[in-house]
């Protein structure tokens, strides 16, 4: 049996050939998947229940037409505002990161000039530094720029944090592009800006997707910087707004769970659609 099992395994046929060994691994995977999904399923189920239903039968399948909790959140809280704020902050940061990151990566990757190695090193140095520990000077800096309690503070910090990984990923990719097209365009007298914009940039989209996903998830989910920079309730992003909201409704568990469900929904839905790109993007820093 084991010879068959080995060949199945190594040839990656994925057959249930070796029941013993593979059975154990399959059980581990199924058990793990249940543990991974159960909390999320309970969260979604509870979002459709009243508080007393949650206490009495937390695991039962709810009546999905009971959307009272969601209506309450939509009408009685600042939730929609938080959601919009998160979209604005994340969107602006991503636009800046991808624009500036591509600019730097293009210069470093396509041109030979003095100091390009140094500039790349400069960006890479920012890759591993835990910026949380510099929160005190950052706070003072934002105060001096008078953008405390202003979403620009978040957008600027996220942009700076996103640039090192983006420059790193994009430079590597841009360097691999062939130079024939570029040379041909240059012969035809195209300007450098035109070459970059019309010829090279369309080719770097795959790397932009990877760099984009790697940055968009931590920015969308971030809580630390809003906690320090933003006080005004109308400016809060979703994770930060969630703390306000959870504090207000402590006893209404139905509303709490639907708030969590609503906050988790956008990213879960996008993840399920684009799981391959998400996994590639979020592990790209760690996978050579």
Partner 1 sequence: MPKLRMTGRGLWITVLVVPPLAFVALFIVYPILSAFAYAFFDWQGLRRLDFIGLENFHTVLFVEPYRSWTLNAFRNNVIVFFALMVLQNGLGFILAYALWRELPGARFHRVAVFLPVVLSTIIVAYLFKLFYHPLFGVVNISLRSIGLGWLAQPWLGQSSTALWSLIIAQAWHMVGFPTLVFLAGMQRIPGEILDAVRMETESEWVKITKIVWPLVAPSATIVFTLLFVGAFNWFELPYIMAGLDGSPFGSTDVLGLYFYRTAFGNVSAGQQDFGLGSALAVLIFIFIAAIATVITLRLRAREIQL
- Touching partner 1, residues 41-80 (CB under 8 A): 42-43, 54-55, 58-59
Q: Identify which of residues 26 and 234 has a Cβ nearer to partner 1 in the complex.
A: 26
* CB contact set of 252 (below 8 Å; sequence gap of 6+): 51
Q: How far is CA 103 from the centre of its chain?
A: 22
> Which phi and psi angles does 18 have, rounded to 5°?
-95, 90
Told to check if 103 binds partner 1 by CB under 8 A, we report yes
* CB contact set of 287 (below 8 Å; sequence gap of 6+): none
Options 60-68, 70-78, 199-207, 269-277: segment touching partner 1 (CB under 8 A):
269-277
Told to check if 157 binds partner 1 by CB under 8 A, we report yes
User: Binding string to partner 1 for residues 224 to 253, with x set by CB under 8 A, is what?
Assistant: x---x---------xxx-xx--x------x
Q: Please, which of residues 122-141 interact with partner 1 by CB under 8 A? A: 122-123, 125-126, 128-138, 140-141
Work out the end-to-end distance of the chain between its first and last CA atoms, rounded to an integer number of angstroms: 36
Cβ atoms of 97 and 161 within 8 Å: the answer is: no
Euclidean distance between CA atoms 205 and 200, whole angstroms = 10
Q: Identify which of residues 130 and 202 has a Cβ nearer to partner 1 in the complex.
A: 130
Q: Please, which of residues 9-28 interact with partner 1 by CB under 8 A? A: 9-10, 12, 14, 16, 21-22, 25-26, 28
Told to check if 197 binds partner 1 by CB under 8 A, we report no
Q: Please, which of residues 249-268 interact with partner 1 by CB under 8 A? A: 253, 256-257, 260, 263-264, 267-268
Q: Identify which of residues 163 and 169 has a Cβ nearer to partner 1 in the complex.
A: 163
Q: Identify which of residues 38 and 80 has a Cβ nearer to partner 1 in the complex.
A: 38
CB of 48 to partner 1, least distance (A): 15
# residues contacting partner 1 (CB under 8 A): 104
Q: Residue 16, class by beta-carbon neighbours within 10 Å (0-12 exposed, 13-18 middle, 19+ buried)?
A: exposed
Euclidean distance between CA atoms 14 and 26, whole angstroms = 11
Signed CA dihedral, 266, 264, 267, 153: sign only: positive
């Amino acid at each position: 049996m084991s010879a068959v099992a080995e060949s199945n395994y190594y040839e990656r046929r994925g057959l249930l050939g070796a029941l013993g060994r593979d059975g154990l691994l399959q059980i581990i995977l199924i058990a793990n998947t249940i543990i991974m999904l159960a909390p999320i399923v309970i969260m979604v189920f509870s979002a459709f229940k009243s508080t007393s239903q949650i206490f009495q039968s937390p695991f039962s399948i709810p009546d999905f037409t009971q959307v009272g909790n969601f209506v309450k959140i939509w009408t009685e809280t600042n939730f929609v505002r938080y959601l919009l704020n998160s979209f604005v902050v994340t969107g602006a940061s991503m636009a800046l990161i991808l624009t500036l990151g591509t600019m730097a990566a293009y210069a470093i990757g396509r041109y030979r000039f003095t100091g390009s190695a140094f500039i790349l090193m400069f960006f890479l140095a920012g890759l591993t530094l835990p910026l949380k520990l510099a929160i005190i000077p950052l706070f003072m800096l934002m105060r001096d720029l008078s953008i405390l309690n202003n979403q620009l503070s978040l957008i600027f910090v996220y942009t700076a944090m996103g640039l090192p990984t983006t420059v790193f990923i994009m430079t590597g990719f841009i360097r691999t592009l062939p130079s024939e097209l570029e040379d041909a365009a240059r012969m035809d007298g195209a300007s450098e800006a035109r070459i970059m914009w019309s010829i090279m940039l369309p080719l770097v989209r795959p790397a932009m997707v990877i760099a984009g996903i790697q940055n968009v998830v931590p920015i969308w989910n971030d809580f630390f910087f809003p906690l320090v920079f933003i006080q005004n309730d109308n400016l809060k992003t979703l994770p930060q707004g969630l703390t306000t909201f959870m504090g207000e409704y402590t006893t209404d568990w139905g509303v709490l769970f639907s708030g969590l469900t609503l906050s988790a929904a956008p990213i879960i839905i996008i993840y399920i659609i684009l799981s391959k790109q998400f996994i590639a993007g979020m592990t790209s820093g760690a996978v050579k």
